Amino acid sequence: MAEQQDPVFQIQRVYLKEASLEQPNSPQILLEQEAPVVDIQLGVDALPAAEGIYEVAVTATVQAKIKDKTVFLVEVKQAGIFEIRNLPEEQMGQIIGIACPQIVYPYLRGNVADVITRAGFPPVHLTEINFQAMHEQQQAQAAAAAEADAPRIVTQ
């Protein structure tokens, strides 16, 4: 009889994987009096790194514009390495798509605010994210795309 092993979920490391800042229209754009419009995009990626080890990264792209000119563009990727073993397959998606990003996200928020502040701008504080809703939306989009790509049988 096979021995049941206990589930394992451990954070191995959280780290800043990538950060970039661009101010393509400085210094002229800094003389503008108009308030910029800020656009924020988030993404989550997960890759197996080894047997039972996964890298989960949350990326934020923050772009501030005045009219059609970029004030600044910041891209930050915060990642974590997680050991995840002996979990049922149906729980893996939730752990990797919800629990891991929730752990990494506060570090991302701090790094985004820090980069923008160091660039000479008021910090942009990313709002809290409901990673469960985000994960469910991505799953629904993937299911809809798979259904759209499924072969159709037409009878006459």
Q: Does residue 141 fall inside a structural domain?
A: no
Q: What is the pLDDT of residue 150?
A: 65
Range of the domain at 44: 13-136
Tell me the three state secondary structure of residue 102. helix
152: which DSSP letter? Answer: -
Q: Does residue 154 fall inside a structural domain?
A: no
121-140 burial, b for 16+ CB within 10 Å, e for fewer? beebebeebebeebbeeeee
Q: What is the pLDDT of residue 136?
A: 85
Distance CA 93, CA 127 (A): 24
Q: Does residue 142 fall inside a structural domain?
A: no
Q: What is the pLDDT of residue 107?
A: 97
Distance CA 21, CA 60 (A): 12
Q: Does residue 132 fall inside a structural domain?
A: yes
The tokens for 48 are 């197996």
Q: What is the pLDDT of residue 149?
A: 75
Q: Does residue 7 fall inside a structural domain?
A: no
Model pTM score: 0.84
Contact (CB, 8 A) for 122 and 46? no
Q: What is the pLDDT of residue 143?
A: 82
In the chain, the number of structural domains is 1
Q: What is the pLDDT of residue 108?
A: 97
Domain at 46, CATH number: 3.10.420.10
Q: Does residue 2 fall inside a structural domain?
A: no
- Tens digit of each residue's pLDDT, the chain (156 residues): 456 689 999 999 999 999 999 999 999 988 988 999 999 999 999 999 999 999 999 999 999 999 999 999 999 999 999 999 999 988 998 999 999 999 999 999 999 999 999 999 988 999 998 898 888 888 888 888 887 776 656 555
Q: Where are the beta strands (DSSP E) in 6-156?
A: 8-22, 37-50, 53-66, 69-85
Q: What is the pLDDT of residue 1?
A: 47
